A and B are shown apart, each in its own frame.
Chain A
Amino acid sequence: MRKRTLRRGLVGFWWLTLTFLYLPLAVVVLFSFNAANSAATFTGISLRWYRQLLGNEQIVSAFVNSMILAITSSAIALVIGSLIGYGMYRHRHRKLGWLIVLIYLPIVLPDIVFGISEMVFFVRIYDLTGLFRPGLVTMIIAHVTFQIPFVGLIVYSRFVGLDPTLFEAAKDLYAAPVKRVIHFMLPTIKPALISAFFLSFTLSVDDFVISFFTAGPESATLPIYIWGAIKKGVSPEINAIAALMIGAVAIAAFLSLLFSQRRRT
């Protein structure tokens, strides 16, 4: 009897928590269809805010910037991060404590300290040499810096999960190291590379603080644009752009679920 009440309480708590987690997102999506220019009352369904979005050049360019930033930084981080991940695996018997510290540094550093360090550094270098003007390039550099550790650790753990004798076999099969990389290593770690790329992409799109401090006047990304709009005073247009971003996340979640279900069966 007591067990059943406990169970009921648990189920109730679960649904309450889900409501808590999804309510703010649901409100944003709901009000993006609001006919009235109000954040408090819902008067009817309309698509006027979405239409306004398409006409807003700033939002379109912010979207393009976000995509360039996420794709370029993830690609660079994938190359550098996989190399470091493999190096960590291959030389795991050596004393690499300093490397571990270095790799965890971007992960444990508070965002704000990370972002401000980059900003101060780039501003100083720009003053001295004229290089690294704050803009997309500095943002890409900063994003790669926090993506490398995640790629490295994912690739490393994939290698650790492999049977070590595979490497011996590959050595016997392919004499040339290049062939070994192309025919053995890349195919075996492909799933890790794919998930590392998507994690990097998500981290980049998700980031606000580090982007905010390394951005230049013309390189605003979507979150930076939204931040500015919120600071200027809430407009329903923000609901529409935010709702689109929530929609993208929902699609990504659905795809990742499909992907993981298929892999298990």
Chain B
Amino acid sequence: MAYTGVTPSARSRGMVREVQHLLFTVAPGATWILIFLVLPGAYLMGVAFMTNGPYGQPQMPLSLESFRRLAGFGFLGWSPGNLYTLLRSLWQTLVSTGLVVIVAYPVAYYITTCKEKWRPILLLLVVVPSWTNQVIRTFGWMNLLAPGTPLSNLAETFGLIAPNMGLYPSNFAVTLGLVYNFLPFMVLPLYSAFEKLDNAQVEAAQDLFASPVRAFWHAVFPQTLPGLLAGIVLVSIPAFGMYVIPELLGGGKGMMLGNLVANQFGGGSNWPLGAAGAILMLIATFIGLFVMRRLGKRLGGGEEVVI
């Protein structure tokens, strides 16, 4: 017997104790998440397949009506409103994630070129604004972009906006708000990628008279890819489901999927329609996670991608 000196009964008693230990430590948290998140989530998905009652409460019979409504089919035939909202959400996510990448690369690189004792302080400077509440940060941008403010006046003199309109509410303001909100989420993973950068490769590229662009593309960029992927996950998934920023900075024409969903549980009052929108958001989230995971694995940086 492999287990010398331990009787089978003692061994099974040990097993029982192990399982008890596992249950004691893990069960409270797991049960909490099951009851207060998985169950509510499952119920919400169920609601999507119910019919909308007169007071916005979900009712039986089961139907696919809410998905038809989500696709734009209403009492008055098809209207493209919801489709525009969906496309706008995708577009805003794409543009803001791209801009965040463009801004975050030089910032993350700059921090790694500084003296080691300064780096934590510089990183903290980038992160601290995101510790303030999202509503307050967005309110700050409302103050900055309102009609009559210096920024709005400047845009007006260049003829970028109509007189007395202000820069918000607009799609531009939403993009700006998203970039502002998510910049630290990209700087942090990129910074840790830059910190581990193998400089020998960069120097080799320079010795071979590569232009800075080529040196960056062939020697630096591949090494930062895991950090970049992690950053893209951290930015694009919450950006797609954003509610606060488009609600405050976007106005009616800047609505995103999050607002469409939330409205159904407030004034709009059509729970099944809102739930159907939530399912769409979940699908997008899981597709995003899946694609990033696959890409991360193929690039050999699977361990680096946090999620």
Contact = CB atoms under 8 A, between A and B. Distances in A.
A88 interface: yes
B40 A242 contact: no
Interface in B261-279: 261-262, 265, 271, 274-275, 278
B265 A121 contact: no
Given A10-B109, A108-B307, A223-B133, A113 B34 contact: no
A213 B266 CA distance: 10
A39 B146 contact: yes
Contacts of B212: 2, 6
Interface stretch (B69-77, B123-131, B191-199, B294-302): B123-131
Interface stretch (A44-52, A54-62, A201-209): A201-209
Contacts of B136: 25, 28, 223, 226, 242, 245-246
A39 B285 CA distance: 38
Interface string B107-133: 101100100000011001110110111
Contacts of B142: 230, 234
B37 A114 contact: yes
B39 interface: yes
Given A40-B149, A245-B133, A253-B128, A80 B107 contact: no
Interface in A77-113: 80-81, 83-84, 86-88, 90-91, 94, 96, 99, 102-113
Interface in A107-140: 107-114, 116-122, 124
B289 interface: yes
Interface residues of A, number: 86
Interface residues of B, number: 74
Contact of A208 (B109, B244, B261): B244
A174 interface: no
B43 A21 contact: no
B125 A108 contact: no
Contact of A84 (B28, B47, B128, B183): B28
Instruction: State the majority secondary structure of interface residues on A.
Output: helix
Interface in A233-255: 234, 238-239, 242, 245-246, 249-250, 252-253
A142 interface: yes
A224 to B, nearest CB: 9
Instruction: State the majority secondary structure of interface residues on B.
Output: helix
Contacts of B120: 257, 260-261
B26 A110 contact: no
B128 A99 contact: no
Nearest to A246: B132
B39 A22 contact: no
Contacts of B241: 110-113
Contacts of A226: 133, 135-136, 139
Given A120-B44, A145-B33, A206-B131, A18 B26 contact: no
B33 A10 contact: no
B275 to A, nearest CB: 8
A121 to B, nearest CB: 3
B140 interface: yes
A144 B32 CA distance: 9
A24 B140 contact: yes
Interface in B132-152: 132-137, 139-144, 146-149
A90 to B, nearest CB: 7
A118 B26 contact: no
A142 B36 contact: yes
Contact of B248 (A103, A110, A230): A230
B240 A230 contact: no
A239 to B, nearest CB: 8
A84 B27 CA distance: 8
B265 to A, nearest CB: 6
25 contacts: A10-B113, A13-B107, A17-B103, A23-B144, A28-B139, A31-B143, A80-B29, A83-B28, A91-B22, A99-B26, A103-B29, A106-B33, A108-B289, A110-B240, A113-B241, A117-B37, A118-B36, A120-B43, A122-B40, A208-B244, A213-B265, A226-B136, A234-B143, A238-B139, A257-B120
What are the nearest 7 A-B pairs in CB distance?
A: A24-B140, A87-B25, A110-B241, A121-B40, A84-B29, A87-B26, A117-B40
Interface of B: 18, 21-22, 24-26, 28-30, 32-34, 36-41, 43-44, 47, 103, 106-107, 109-110, 113, 120-121, 124-126, 128-129, 131-137, 139-144, 146-149, 180, 183, 212, 237-238, 240-241, 243-244, 248, 258, 261-262, 265, 271, 274-275, 278, 281-282, 285, 289, 307
Given A83-B29, A234-B142, 16 more contacts: A11-B110, A17-B183, A25-B129, A84-B29, A91-B26, A110-B258, A112-B258, A112-B262, A113-B241, A116-B44, A148-B33, A230-B139, A242-B136, A249-B128, A250-B128, A253-B124
